[in-house]
Copies of this chain bind each other. A is one copy, B any other.
């Protein structure tokens, strides 16, 4: 089944201990849709500027991503400049130019309105809610958010959370949103706000999923070198939602596999700069790493 993502498309400039990159294609909707395209047909709603050229467009079209919802506005595409220090765990933002993203008002093409699987990337919670309300038939609506919205628009965010089925959030932000440092209580508090399923991303420590009485953990894939963590969270979400859209299996077993596919895809993303590794993945590499996750976590009783 097809999967709709609403989010940002950007040009990123990065400084890392392993090298620099200038104006490479990035943004939450980009990482998400490229990743999810390995699993299911993807429709993308985002905005780019008049500087968004054929090369950038072809990244989407070569992955058969539907870009009817990729709006072209007058002005420059969103730009972000960041730096990673030695531990690579957190980006330091050096510069943000919102450009056309500043006045982004997602427009859902009519053909997307019956989308069953939806991911609301990290944008203003008011916009997330507006999109969600246009998609009453969706089977699963997931969203992401960040510290900025948690502190600046807490009431708007709560209204959005009350209208979605699933939240994907990083651990620090889960603590901030719930007001508790404890992982399990944080998940309980967040689920009480609306989402039946809460997925908490823990960086190199992996990810975990909370739903009713189910708690499921996947470790981070142990890489010898992380080159560029940009987009890892959106890549995780793309693998997670992509697998769910492909399988249409929202059972406990399906959600577990989805969490592992999310972790698999995120582990590839950070192996090279930007989208490079994700753009030349083979299906069998994905499945082989999925099996590795089984080897790393299973034991006989």
Binding site for B on A (CB under 8 A): 86-87, 181-185, 202, 204-206, 208, 214-217, 219, 222-226, 253, 256-257, 259-260, 290-291, 294-301
Are A257 and B300 closer than 8 Å at their CB atoms? Answer: yes
Complex formed: what's the CA distance from A205 to B219 in Å? 9
Are A299 and B260 closer than 8 Å at their CB atoms? Answer: yes
Residues of B within 8 A of A86 (CB): 181
Complex formed: what's the CA distance from A147 to B50 in Å? 56
Are B300 and A297 closer than 8 Å at their CB atoms? Answer: no
A contacts with B: majority SS: mixed
Complex formed: what's the CA distance from A162 to B294 in Å? 32
Residues of B within 8 A of A215 (CB): 222, 296
Q: In the complex where A181-B87, A299-B257 touch, is A219 in contact with B219 (Cβ < 8 A)?
A: yes
Of B184, B224, B253, B296, the residue contacting A300 (CB under 8 A) is B253
Residues of B within 8 A of A219 (CB): 206, 208, 217, 219
Are B290 and A294 closer than 8 Å at their CB atoms? Answer: no
Are B290 and A301 closer than 8 Å at their CB atoms? Answer: yes
Are A182 and B253 closer than 8 Å at their CB atoms? Answer: no
Are A216 and B290 closer than 8 Å at their CB atoms? Answer: no
Q: Which residue of B lies closest to A299 (CB)?
A: B256
Residues of B within 8 A of A205 (CB): 202, 205-206
Of B204, B257, B297, the residue contacting A216 (CB under 8 A) is B297
